[in-house]
C-alpha cells in the first residue's frame, strides 16, 4: 500500500511523474530490548523489508532468544549479510556505528539514557555522514490508569492487575500509577488484594505462575530501591507485596503503594518492575487531578481512562490527548496488537513512529521523485515574458 502512492501526472501525454522507493544509502542499526523477543526480530527486519542492510545488536539479557530468531530468518531463506547479528558491548557498538559515515539510521527500543547518548553521538559526528541519519526511538513510560467514579469496578481491578504486574511490570506500557476516586478505593483495594493473595511468584517454567523473576541484578536493585524508598517515606504506604529476594533468582513481589502526594517521585519516574502507586483523589475533583496527571511525568506512552458516564468520558479523553501515544478507554494500558493499535509515544517516551502501522515503514525508505517529459522544451522565454 505504501509503495502504491504515485504523484499526480495531470498531463499524462506530455509529462509522467513517478516515485521510486529505495532503501537508504548506507546501513541501519537495530538496538533491541530484552522484554519482547518479537521486537528483537522486528527492529532489524523492518529496515530489511524496505531494502536495507541492518546490523542487529541484541540485548545482553536476550541473546539466546534473539539468536534463535536470527537462525529462523536464515533458515527461511534470508540471504547472508542482509540482517547481521552482532552481539556487542553497548557503548562499543554505539561508538562504532555513530562514527561510520555510512550510518543511515538507528532503530532503537530501550532506556531514555541510552537513546539520548546515541542522539548526542550522532550530533557530534554530523559532519562525517553521507546523509543525515534517521533516529527512531521507543523509550518507555510512566503509564497511568485514571478512574472516574462511574467506572466498572471489576474492569478497573482486573485491568490494573494485568497491566501493572504481567511480566513483572517489565513492559514499557505497564500501568505504574493509578488515580482513583476516594469513595471507590476501599472496594477496589480489597478486590486487588484478594487477587494478589492468589498470585504465585516462581519459575517461568511453571504455567500456573503469573509473574516470575525480574531480568537481572541491576533491575532488581533499581526496583528494590524504590520499594525501600516507599517504606521510609511519610507520604507512601506499602499496602501489598514489598518483599524482594535475590538469594535464588531476582524475585520482587507484586507491590501496591498508596500515596498522599500525587507528585511524589514514585509517581514521576519509570521503575520498570511490578510496582503500582495509587493516589485516591476527591471524587468530584476528577478534572483537577486529570490535569495534574498530564503534568506529573515526562513520559507520554500509554494511558487509560475508566468511565461509563458520557460527559466525564469525553472530558477525560480530551484532557489526556497529548500524554499518551496509545490511549485506552475502559481497558488496560497494555496489549497493543500489530495493525490494531500501532505503538509509540511522545515526550521522553520516544519519536512516536508507530511501529505496527503503515507509516512506520516509510522511515526506512529514501524516495526518489522522477519527472519524465515526453515533449521537448522549445523556448527559453518565461510565459510571463510574452
Secondary structure (H, E, C), 308-333: CCHHHHHHHHHHCCCCCCEEEECCCC
Model confidence pLDDT, tens digit, residues 325-347: 999 999 999 999 999 999 999 99
**Is the model's pLDDT at 12 over the cut of 90?**
no
Catalytic residue among 24, 44, 54, 172: 172
DSSP E strands: which ranges in the chain? 15-23, 27-31, 53-57, 83-85, 103-109, 134-138, 143-147, 175-181, 236-240, 244-245, 251-252, 255-259, 275-281, 299-300, 302-306, 326-329, 346-347, 365-373
Burial class (CB in 10 A: 0-12, 13-18, 19+), 124: exposed
**Is the model's pLDDT at 101 over the cut of 90?**
yes
**Cβ neighbours of residue 316 under 8 Å, at least 6 residues apart?**
146, 148, 286, 287, 290, 305, 307
Residue 99 or residue 1, greater confidence: 99
The three three-digit cell numbers of residue 52, written as one number: 536495507
Model pLDDT, residue 358: 87
CATH 3.40.605.10 domain position(s) in the chain: 2-139+350-371
- Mean per-residue pLDDT, 119-148: 98
Model pLDDT, residue 336: 94
CATH code given to domain 2-139+350-371: 3.40.605.10
CATH 3.40.309.10 describes domain 143-329: yes
Catalytic site includes residue 138? yes
- Phi/psi of residue 198, nearest 5 degrees: -95, -15
- Phi/psi of residue 61, nearest 5 degrees: -100, 15
Model confidence pLDDT, tens digit, residues 18-51: 999 999 999 999 999 999 999 999 999 999 999 9
Q: Find cell 510512566 and name the residue.
A: 142
Gap between the Cα atoms of 39 and 138, Å rounded:
11
- The answer to whether 111 touches 119, Cβ cutoff 8 Å, is no
Gap between the Cα atoms of 17 and 40, Å rounded:
38
What's the chain's average pLDDT? 97
- The answer to whether 377 touches 371, Cβ cutoff 8 Å, is no
Gap between the Cα atoms of 313 and 323, Å rounded:
16
**Is the model's pLDDT at 3 over the cut of 90?**
no
Q: Which of 26, 60, 32 is nearest to 44 (CA)?
A: 32
**Is the model's pLDDT at 11 over the cut of 90?**
no
Global pTM exceeds 0.85:
yes
In this structure, what DSSP letter does residue 374 have? S
Catalytic site includes residue 172? yes
Catalytic residue among 24, 44, 138, 270: 138
Amino acid at each position: 500500500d505504501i509503495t502504491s502512492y504515485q504523484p499526480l501526472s495531470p498531463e499524462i501525454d506530455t509529462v509522467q511523474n513517478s516515485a521510486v522507493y529505495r532503501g537508504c544509502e548506507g546501513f541501519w542499526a537495530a538496538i533491541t530490548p530484552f522484554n519482547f523477543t518479537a521486537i528483537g526480530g522486528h527492529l532489524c527486519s523492518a529496515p530489511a523489508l524496505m531494502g536495507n542492510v541492518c546490523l542487529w545488536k541484541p540485548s545482553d539479557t536476550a541473546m539466546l532468544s534473539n539468536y534463535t530468531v536470527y537462525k529462523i530468518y536464515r533458515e527461511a531463506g534470508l540471504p547472508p549479510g542482509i540482517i547481521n547479528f552482532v552481539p556487542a558491548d553497548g557503548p562499543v557498538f554505539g561508538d562504532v556505528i555513530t562514527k561510520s559515515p555510512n550510518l543511515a539510521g538507528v532503530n532503537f527500543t530501550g532506556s531514555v539514557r541510552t537513546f539520548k547518548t546515541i542522539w548526542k553521538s550522532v550530533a557530534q559526528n554530523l559532519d562525517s555522514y553521507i546523509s543525515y541519519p534517521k533516529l527512531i526511538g521507543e523509550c518507555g513510560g510512566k503509564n497511568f490508569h485514571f478512574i472516574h467514579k462511574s467506572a466498572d469496578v471489576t474492569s478497573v481491578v482486573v485491568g490494573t492487575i494485568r497491566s501493572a504486574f504481567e511480566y513483572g511490570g517489565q513492559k514499557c506500557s505497564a500501568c505504574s500509577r493509578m488515580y482513583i476516586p476516594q469513595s471507590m478505593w476501599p472496594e477496589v483495594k480489597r478486590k486487588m488484594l484478594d487477587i494478589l493473595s492468589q498470585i504465585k511468584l516462581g519459575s517461568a517454567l511453571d504455567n500456573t505462575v503469573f509473574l516470575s523473576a525480574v531480568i537481572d541484578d541491576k533491575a532488581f536493585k533499581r526496583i528494590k530501591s524504590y520499594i525501600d524508598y516507599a517504606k521510609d517515606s511519610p507520604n507512601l504506604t506499602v499496602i501489598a507485596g514489598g518483599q524482594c529476594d535475590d538469594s535464588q533468582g531476582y524475585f520482587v513481589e507484586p507491590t501496591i503503594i498508596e500515596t498522599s502526594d500525587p507528585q511524589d517521585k514514585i509517581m514521576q519516574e519509570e521503575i520498570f518492575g511490578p510496582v503500582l502507586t495509587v493516589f485516591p483523589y476527591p471524587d468530584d475533583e476528577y478534572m483537577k487531578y486529570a490535569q495534574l496527571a498530564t503534568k506529573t511525568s515526562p513520559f507520554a506512552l500509554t494511558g487509560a481512562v475508566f468511565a461509563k458516564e458520557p460527559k466525564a468520558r469525553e472530558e477525560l479523553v480530551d484532557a489526556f490527548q497529548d500524554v499518551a501515544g496509545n490511549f485506552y478507554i475502559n481497558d488496560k494500558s497494555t496489549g497493543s496488537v500489530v495493525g490494531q493499535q500501532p505503538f509509540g509515544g511522545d515526550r521522553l517516551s520516544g519519536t512516536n513512529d508507530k511501529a505496527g502501522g503503515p507509516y512506520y515503514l516509510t522511515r526506512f525508505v529514501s524516495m526518489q521523485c522522477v519527472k519524465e517529459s515526453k515533449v521537448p522544451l522549445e523556448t527559453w522565454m518565461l510565459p510571463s515574458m510574452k
